[in-house]
Amino acid sequence: MTAYYKELQPADPFRIRLPYPFSNYDRQLLTLLYQPMIGAEAIALYLTLWAEGEATSEESSHYTLMNMLGNSISKIFDARIQLEAIGLLRTYKNQSSERSFIYELCPPLDPKTFFMDPLLSMFLFSKIGETSYRKVRKRFAIETEIPTDYEEVSRTFTDIFQPVHAKAGYPAKKKDLQERKNGGYSTESDFDFGLLQQGLSEQLVPKRVLTGSIKAYIAKLAFLYSWDPLEMQTVVLMAIDDNYKLTTDLLKKAATEHYKMKVSTTAPQLVPVHKATEPIEATDETSKTKEDELLVYLETAAPIQVLRDIADGHEPLPSDVELANQLVTFHKMETAVVNVLLHYVLLRTDMKLTKAYVEKIASHWLRKNITTAKDAMEIARVEHTQYMKWKSEGSLTTIAKPFTGNQKPLREERLPEWFHKKDDVPVAKAEPRNESLEVEKQKLLAKLALKKGKGG
């Protein structure tokens, strides 16, 4: 089972909140500063939410995101938490029984704040290297020096305006305006500032220099370099200047020098500790089979991706996509169950999706409350004889063409590899084996089983 399963499902609705308009400059910051850190899939999710948020405020299901991005729900969840961690997205969940979400997009930090932040700047540096880091930093640098032969002659507000006391009342108070703020990330720190200050003499480091912003910066440096308060005492003493001033620039420089001397000349790296998808539980690592790999694929892929993979990468027909969408959005079937259903029917019907036949099996699975890919595989095995009968009945009664003596005989049925189990009781009469179809089936199942390993 997957780690995200209880937190997010395709049918969960969400709304998008854009507190204020974003600009093309924000898009440049996202692409050049944030994308190297969190990857293209997370930025694609952000840009998709941005575009949808500008167009509508109506609810949508996560299944629509799966179709738009061509990603599984696990990848969408992983992209979401990366955006949350980096400060680009705030997520709010409805606490009622019917779960829903609000996604509030936050703009990226301005370049000065970004490059002054020890975690973000080091994160970017470790991803793109020194040469690219210097290049992108120079790109966003703005020359602020004013030539010395110029003096400011700007008027002040009070130079131009003055109050007039009149009985005109006051403007109505409104709460629908919001200040534009850069999207900052949150950290949880248990850094012991009491222990830090115990080892710092008041004569060398006055308490007044340890302001709230300086303490926050110290905590970030301690996290980045994995230093305790005793180690940070040395950094603070190295950073404070002769005038008893302590700035973030001085702290950052001192921490870098101390790390190079004590640990390594190679900068530390930041890597994610959360993995959206966990492997299926097994009693022994070596006991995992191709069916286990295929089960992970069917549990996590979007139905449109399953249709695409079975067709060797070709885009599925709109009618096939619409059928899959209807099963998920209207009939509320789990995407994993729809994936097994599509997989089963396509291999049984020579790659043709017959709407009536699919819906008949889907109706049976809904009544049986089938909610996982494993359960869907099992019921397909158990009810195979009945499904063969339905298919035979459908070919005689639901096809519009009348029967003629010139009709071609039905093709031999192909079954997914997961259909067969070693401990199955053999049927009374074995069906004839078609070697060419069997080879084709094995190739298809091998490709689908490997999709997980390829990031599908």
| Structure token pair of residue 8 | 């997010």
DSSP state of 311: T
The pLDDT value recorded for residue 417 is 62
Collect all residues with Cβ–Cβ distance below 8 Å to 357 and sequence separation of at least 6.
345, 349, 390, 391, 394
pLDDT at 409 over 60: no
Give CA–CA dist 227/263, Å, rounded.
Answer: 11
Distance CA(299)–CA(302), nearest Å, equals 9
User: How many separate helices (H) and strands (E) can be counted in the chain?
Assistant: 20, 4
Decide if domain 13-108 falls under CATH 1.10.4160: no
Closest by CA position to 34, among listed 120, 134, 118: 120
Quote the DSSP letter at residue 93.
E
Segment 89-136, tens digit of pLDDT: 999 998 777 889 999 999 999 998 999 888 899 889 988 988 999 999
Higher pLDDT, 411 or 392: 392
Model confidence at 37, pLDDT cuts 50, 70, 90, reads very high
Give the pLDDT mean for 200-211: 78
Task: Provide the 10 A C-beta neighbour count for residue 30.
Answer: 20
For residue 330, the one-letter residue type is F
Residue 53 pLDDT class (50, 70, 90 cuts): very high
CA dist., res. 446 & res. 430, Å (int):
24
In this structure, what token pair is assigned to residue 452? 């997980």
Of 203-207, 306-310, 432-436, the least confident = 432-436
Query: Mean pLDDT, the chain, as a whole number?
Result: 77
Q: Are residues 445 and 290 in contact, defined by beta-carbon separation less than 8 angstroms?
A: yes
Can you tell me the distance from the alpha carbon of 63 to that of 57, in angstroms, rounded to the nearest whole number?
Answer: 17
Rounded mean pLDDT, 161-166: 72
Q: Residue 60 forms beta bridges with which residues?
A: 14
pLDDT computed for residue 177 by the predictor:
57
> Where do the domains of the chain lie?
13-108, 110-140+188-271, 288-400+409-450
Q: Tell whether the model's pLDDT for residue 433 goes beyond 70.
A: no
Q: Please tell me the distance from the alpha carbon of residue 210 to that of residue 197, in angstroms, as a whole number.
A: 9
**Lowest mean pLDDT: which of 16-20, 240-244, 305-309?**
240-244
